[in-house]
Amino acid sequence: MKFLIETPTIGFVETSASDIDLIIEIENQFENNQFINPYTKERHLQVITNRDEMHLLIWNKIEKQIIGFIILGGLENLNLSLEFRRIIIQPKGKGFGKQSLRLIKNYCFQQLKFHRLWLDVFDDNQVAIKFYLSEKFTQEGQLRDVVKYGNSYRSLLIFSILEKEFYND
């Protein structure tokens, strides 16, 4: 298999339309859907075809199986600011998330030569917040009550890492 980017254990390939049913199944599992806004099938398909967005499958190269996916946005952003829009890993807690995030940082800064990588995360997603902080992301701010969730609202935290912070690591 030809990977877009890889380490000895994981690799990214562009998601195909035939993978979307599996992606939706992963997204809708409780341990995942409480931390993201699941997309419709149409929206996922749009990401695959849209030039400004990228849909990537994460492969475990040793076990030869899919272990998650990533969505990026802003590939045509004139300010060279890339959005790390979504990551879901299964199985969790085995280091695959950290490896994937490091690959995305390399892709953003070394391959695309972008200036900024940013993301938002629900403020009650403690695992993901620790995950981003452990990879040198800085919290920029909070969007209070920005997402309507049933009868209540949830807040998002904005994190980013800049080119100079990546290279000074």
Closest CA to 64 of 107, 16, 3, 17: 3
CB of 134 to ligand COA, least distance (A): 4
CB of 96 to ligand COA, least distance (A): 4
**Cα(64)–Cα(144) distance, integer angstroms:** 41
Q: Is 55 exposed, middle or buried (0-12, 13-18, 19+ CB in 10 A)?
A: buried
Beta carbon nearer to ligand COA, 74 or 97:
97
**Cα(37)–Cα(147) distance, integer angstroms:** 9
Mask 100-129, x = binds ligand COA (CB under 6 A)? ---------------------x---x-xx-
By CB under 6 A, tell whether 10 contacts ligand COA: no
One residue of 57, 58, 87, 108 binding ligand COA per CB under 6 A: 87
One residue of 110, 134, 138, 142 binding ligand COA per CB under 6 A: 134
Q: Which two tokens stand for residue 102?
A: 């490091």
Handedness of CA 154, 21, 9, 92 (dihedral sign): positive
By CB under 6 A, tell whether 55 contacts ligand COA: no
Please count the residues of the chain.
Answer: 169
Q: What are phi and psi of 158, to 5 degrees?
A: -105, 130
Judge whether 63 and 43 are in contact, CB under 8 Å. Answer: no
Beta carbon nearer to ligand COA, 33 or 40:
33
By CB under 6 A, tell whether 77 contacts ligand COA: no
Beta carbon nearer to ligand COA, 95 or 141:
95
Per CB under 6 A, residues contacting ligand COA are 32, 35-36, 86-89, 92-98, 121, 125, 127-128, 130-131, 134
